[in-house]
Structure 1
């Protein structure tokens, strides 16, 4: 419980989010909007701000974060950097796809998996929350016009939650720590099987397009204020002198970001908070600079960057990948401010470890490839995997890692079969000196 302040900080954020929701919208609109959110199929891209209003979207996000906090507290999850990742993803994606209803069957499935394995649920609590990437499946089966079956939707969600813990543990190894959104890759594989089966039965899900515009000023002020709070908190409210906090942040920037890289446990709260604020501002500036839109999906991407600022991302390893997407926008047959490409420019930072580990030119290459791959990788799964960039990033990482290792570094690529390795000395996994470090 070394980082137990995560709980009150997250609760304060949720309270402020709900307060802001009622300032920006009326109670009647929020109630009606919440009903629309829960009853919607939620496939990509379903922007809750466009669908239900900014008030309902903010309330849903706050409720999902509070539910996640409750689960982590009940199981006494050991708080660390990955906790911030989980909360960032749950809060961000509850602005476009996850809601207070459709996450529960998948969480229940992971709980049943833990019982089946006779292991404590705390081992899979974060996995269960991140597995809600496939929560649109629950909403589609429960509320779709041509295939409505509430019981079937719940059971299907339970099955998804049951299989993903074991699958994600396997996919984690084969990506060699180069794709931070491992659960997105695992969920993409499940979706690649589910959608063809559903289509063969005559019930293919369809993609959606709800994309809010006109909120750049409101959401820009909100995000800039939040990021500045992170930076100020890191500099002045972490029981460290500002110079020491800044020195810690500069030391953090030397990390490759290769998973697992728990910045919170390695560098402390002060550098991580500064990193969260800086990275969040980079995301906001990026969207505004390309003429994009701050809305539910893009805020989800920025919150994902902020969350992973505690677990692998910093400005030195994310900016080359984002630059690769920008270069792609100048050379490919799509525009950089297309909605899907805006999201690619934010979520491409899943490949930040490639930039940090192999160097920034390879980060640019990874972003360049990812921008095109992600535009086509989502087609077979019809938008039911919310972490589609994680799936695409996994494909790019699996291809680039062995090629760069063998051709550029002249080493034999090896699968990561341990959680411990020396990222500065060699690629081969090493075993810790004693089991106590685990």
Structure 2
């Protein structure tokens, strides 16, 4: 494989996470903490660092990263930018909501979907991994003695995994590539159906708030060093001159980031590593300057930004949206002390394509709206969708897109009919080519 070294990177990431866990807590504390993690319902916001200790949290993340790498390998998935997205999200959310047990029913459901269509699981592996955003629903049903049991939790997880591929294919189209967290939006829609049904059957899911504090110096130093290391690796360790890697990064900054934008295939590993490091530093700086906390959820947000640095995010399109959330936080809430707002300033970068395609001012507007919308979208689904910001971003993108093109820009974005790699490697749907005599969508919109 052209990017087979990603596997070694995943193994290295897992080793570093496990080492951090062992340094911070002993093996016995880690074992006890892992038991607590897998027997907790995990609805938002359940910070594993606060719940079970940093050792268990990082050990859980290491195990999940190994599972993710193994699934990519066994499925035969041709690695690309979305593979780095999957690794980043699985590592990050394993610090607050996903664990090495509650993800399996959803993964099994998507595998069964692929089997039912007689298609390779590799075609759906990315959707399968990201669909584990609904893993808290599996945990809740499996562990809540007043409502469900282990068997029903597994069945619901399988159903979720089976439904997600066709649902994600549909939601991708209606968002016009303006929300990078397409699976998060689809998970939010599905949770909006499942949670009311569960409630009608007697369930009583409630939001959680486990939020660790006091780790800013330690985690900030480790993550900052890692980001600098990514930049240096992109400049000097990718078999191309530093000036060429930097030139590639400057070209990357000129893209809109509209999905699908596989930066790994477009620009190569060097510029992508530089982008990951710089984006991580930007997210870290925003969080610390706003007085935020570095813990499981916020580290998950930073890992997500770095993962999507291979698939749509860069400094030019994330800063306006983050600035918009910051402005909204101070305008509506009087500050950014809320944990939900701290997460919003990181995960709002799902709407980076709005800033990249329409201009920075529309990115600020999207972030401003996100700062209030995201505070209301978690309650209807009782925290069962870990990608709550992706759900909120999808709602905003669906409203803003037609509004902007109709009133302000008169410019209609077109979902690409061909991506930068072939259909088998592509994890998102593609539109059929227009029939003879039909106007293309781009021409109709001009």
TM-score by length of 1: 0.95
Gaps of 5+ in 1: 422-428, 433-438
Indicate the residue corresponding to 2:25 in structure 1. 25
Query: Does structure 2 conserve the Cα–Cα contact (< 8 Å) formed by 1:420 and 1:430?
Result: no
Q: 2: CA distance between counterparts of 1:112 and 1:224? A: 41
Task: Find the counterpart in structure 1 of residue 136 from structure 2.
Answer: 136
Q: Aligned pairs, how many? A: 425
In 2, the alpha carbon distance for the partners of 1:112 and 1:193 equals 22
Shift of 1:24: 1.0
CA contact (8 A) 1:85 1:308 kept: yes
CA deviation string 1:272-325 (max 9, x = no partner): 000000000111111110111000000000000000000000011000000001
In 2, distance between residues paired with 1:409 and 1:148?
A: 51
Distance (whole Å) between structure 1 residues aligned to residue 383 and residue 16 of structure 2: 31
Distance, in Å, in 1 between the alignment partners of 2:98 and 2:207 is 15
Please state how far the C-alpha of 1:334 moved relative to its aligned partner.
Answer: 5.0
- CA gap 1:110/1:313 in 2 versus in 1, 3 angstroms: same
Tell me, yes or no, if the aligned pair for 1:279 and 1:309 is still in contact at 8 Å. yes
Superposed CA deviations along residues 179-206 of structure 1, whole A, max 9, x for unmatched, are 0000000000000000111111110311
The structural deviation recorded for 1:13 is: 1.4
What residue ranges of structure 2 are gaps of 5+ in the alignment?
Answer: 421-430, 435-446
Number of the residue aligned with 2:172: 172
- Write the distance in 1 (CA, Å) between the matches of 2:157 and 2:254: 41
For residues 242-257 of structure 1, the aligned pairs below 5 Å read 242-257=242-257
Provide, for residues 39-96 of structure 1, a one-character-per-residue CA deviation record: whole Å limited to 9, x for no partner: 0000000000000000100000010010011011001101000100010000000000
Matched with 1:424 is: none
Matching of residue 401 in structure 1 with residue 413 in structure 2? no
Tell me what 1:435 maps to: none
- Equivalent residues of 1:174, 1:416 under 8 A apart: no
CA deviation after TM superposition for structure 1 residue 336, in Å: 1.4
**Residue 420 (structure 1) shift:** 5.2
Q: How does 1:369-380 map to 2 (within 5 A)?
A: 369-380=369-380
Matched residue, 2:438 = none
> Is the 2:49–2:56 Cα contact (8 Å) retained in structure 1?
yes
Aligned equivalents of 1:166, 1:201: Cα separation in 2: 27
The residue number in structure 2 matching 1:207 is: 207
The aligned residue for residue 268 of structure 1 is 268
Give the match for residue 425 of structure 1.
none
Partner of 2:56: 56
User: Secondary structure in 2 aligned to 1:96?
Assistant: coil
> In structure 1, what is the equivalent of residue 11 of structure 2?
11
8 Å contact 2:178–2:397 — kept in the other structure?
Answer: yes
Higher mean C-alpha deviation, range 136-145 or range 270-279: 136-145
* 1:155-194 aligned within 5 A: 155-194=155-194
Query: Is this contact kept in 2: 1:195–1:204, CA < 8 A?
Result: no
Q: State the 1:9 CA deviation.
A: 1.1
Q: CA RMSD in A?
A: 1.6
Q: Deviations over 1:114-144 (max 9, x none)?
A: 1111111111111111110000011001112
> Is the CA contact 2:106–2:132 (under 8 Å) kept in the aligned structure 1?
yes
* Inter-partner Cα distance in structure 2 for 1:356 and 1:214: 35
Q: Please give the alpha-carbon distance, in whole angstroms, between the structure 1 residues aligned to 2:330 and 2:355.
A: 21
